[in-house]
Amino acid sequence: MTGAIAGDIIGSVYEFDNIKTTDFPLFTDESDYTDDTIMTVAVADWLLNGGDLVKVMQRYS
């Protein structure tokens, strides 16, 4: 889960770009979490606490 969140933050500045290189900075001043991180946290909450997955995701959205 930590890797998914880190990957989301690292890739956030490239999210809609067609990047073909592996030579890029991991974190920049523009790096930020996205909706993918929010939903990852929602799924973690659901896995730990149970309940209705849709309601948990709606609470985080």
For 9-59, the pLDDT digits (tens) are: 999 998 888 888 888 888 999 999 999 999 999 999 999 999 999 999 999
Domain boundaries along the sequence of the chain: 1-13+35-61
CB 42 within 8 A of CB 56: yes
Q: Is the pTM of this model over 0.75?
A: yes
Whether the CA torsion 30, 34, 38, 41 is positive or negative: it is negative
Alpha-carbon span 57 to 32, nearest angstrom? 20
Joined tokens for residue 29:
């001043």
Alpha-carbon span 28 to 22, nearest angstrom? 15
